[in-house]
Amino acid sequence: MPLRNQDDMYKRRKRRTAKNNIFRTLFFTATTVGLIVLAMLIYRVLSQGTGSLSWDFIRNFAAPYPDEAGLLAGIVGSLYLMGIVAIFSIVVGVSTAIYLEEYAKKGKLTTFIQMNIQNLAGVPSVVFGLLGLTFFVYVLDFGYSLLTGGLTMSLLVLPIIVVSSQEALRSVPSELKEASAAMGASKWQTIFRVVLPAALPGMITGSILALSRAIGETAPLLVVGAATAIYSLPDSVVDSYTVMPIQIYSWISKPGDEWPLLAAAGIIILLIFLLIMNTIAVLIRNKFQRRY
């Protein structure tokens, strides 16, 4: 005689697999919700925007007529802005992370700084715009220029870069550092030759993802005076400029049927830029990541 009733066992197993299936479907649906929304968004943008995409759209400045309007000022402005943001935020962000992880003693002050950086990451972007307005425009007198916009955006993405760089530094095993120190290397030599190279892929990935956030932001730039319509490219970092999201936004709010189509085309270009940046991030991570 069997110890357990076979039928009963089958029944229980059935119930357990059923439960498993229910949760699997639940989680799968949750995943697909996001995917479906994304697919709908992309479909809508593509179906509306591809008609307006052409070389002229990339080569022309904005115009009051839909068939002459282009995104040139926005594309170039966004690229310059990203350049400034990259230089400033990566240098400052990575340096901050190195200080916090390698030099700072773990104490109340470090915890306090750490907490504030994490809080900064959650501050609404328009607040950074106001900060940029008072600090860069009024105090430092940079005017409503590309430089002001770039520095404001740098402040916005700085916390993200600091936190992701810290993560990258932390993932470098301490054995490596100890080995380096045991060989007689100074702290700086260890950081420069051992820790940084090992943490670099993580840092670059985080930085590029932070830049992708900056390229889509509008609110802070409106506050620090990016132009809505401009027919010249910036000659220097203290010149006027506009960026892609602002141009797209101004097209969406115009009366007339053709403007939303142009906005959709603008969104496609913006998406292409985002996609390129994210691909670079993934490629760097895959190519250089070494596991210890």
**Residue 127 interacts with other proteins (CB under 8 A)?**
no
Q: How far apart are CA 66 and CA 51, in angstroms?
A: 12
Tally of CB atoms within 10 A around 197: 12
From residue 285, how far is each of 62, 190, 195, 229 by CA, in Å?
37, 22, 16, 38
Select 20 or 289, whichever has its Cβ closest to other proteins: 289
**Residue 6 interacts with other proteins (CB under 8 A)?**
no
- Which of these, 160, 182, 174, 188, lies nearest to 99 by C-alpha position? 188
Contact with other proteins (CB under 8 A): which of 75, 84, 97, 163?
Answer: 84
From the list 15-23, 124-132, 136-144, 168-176, the region that binds other proteins by CB under 8 A is: 136-144
x/- site string to other proteins, residues 87 to 106, per CB under 8 A? Answer: x--xx---------------
Tally of CB atoms within 10 A around 35: 9
From the list 25-33, 46-54, 97-105, 254-262, the region that binds other proteins by CB under 8 A is: 254-262
From residue 47, how far is each of 44, 264, 275 by CA, in Å?
5, 9, 19
From residue 181, how far is each of 191, 198, 200 by CA, in Å?
10, 16, 20
From residue 91, how far is each of 97, 191, 209, 259 by CA, in Å?
10, 15, 16, 40
Contact with other proteins (CB under 8 A): which of 237, 248, 264, 268?
Answer: 237
Which residue is it, tokens 């993934």?
A: 282
- Which of these, 164, 10, 28, lies nearest to 101 by C-alpha position? 164
Shortest distance (Å) from residue 143 CB to other proteins: 5
From the list 38-46, 166-174, 250-258, 270-278, the region that binds other proteins by CB under 8 A is: 250-258
**Residue 136 interacts with other proteins (CB under 8 A)?**
no
**Residue 143 interacts with other proteins (CB under 8 A)?**
yes
Count the site residues for other proteins by CB under 8 A. Answer: 54
**Residue 238 interacts with other proteins (CB under 8 A)?**
yes
**Residue 66 interacts with other proteins (CB under 8 A)?**
no
**Residue 44 interacts with other proteins (CB under 8 A)?**
no
Length of the chain: 292
Torsion-angle region of 227 (φ positive above 0: left; ψ -120 to 50: alpha; else: beta):
beta
From the list 106-114, 153-161, 164-172, 235-243, the region that binds other proteins by CB under 8 A is: 235-243
Contact with other proteins (CB under 8 A): which of 82, 162, 214, 268?
Answer: 82
Residue type, 143: G
Q: How far apart are CA 89 and CA 154, in angstroms?
A: 5
Which residue is it, tokens 């960026």?
A: 243
Select 115 or 179, whichever has its Cβ closest to other proteins: 179
From the list 36-44, 113-121, 154-162, 220-228, the region that binds other proteins by CB under 8 A is: 220-228
Shortest distance (Å) from residue 36 CB to other proteins: 23
From the list 26-34, 51-59, 112-120, 142-150, the region that binds other proteins by CB under 8 A is: 142-150
φ, ψ for residue 172, nearest 5 deg: -75, 120
- Local structure of 236: helix, strand or coil: coil
**Residues of the shown chain interacting with other proteins in the complex, contacts defined by CB under 8 A:** 61-64, 76, 79-80, 82-84, 86-87, 90-91, 141-145, 192-194, 196-197, 200-201, 204, 222, 225-240, 242, 250, 252-257, 260, 288
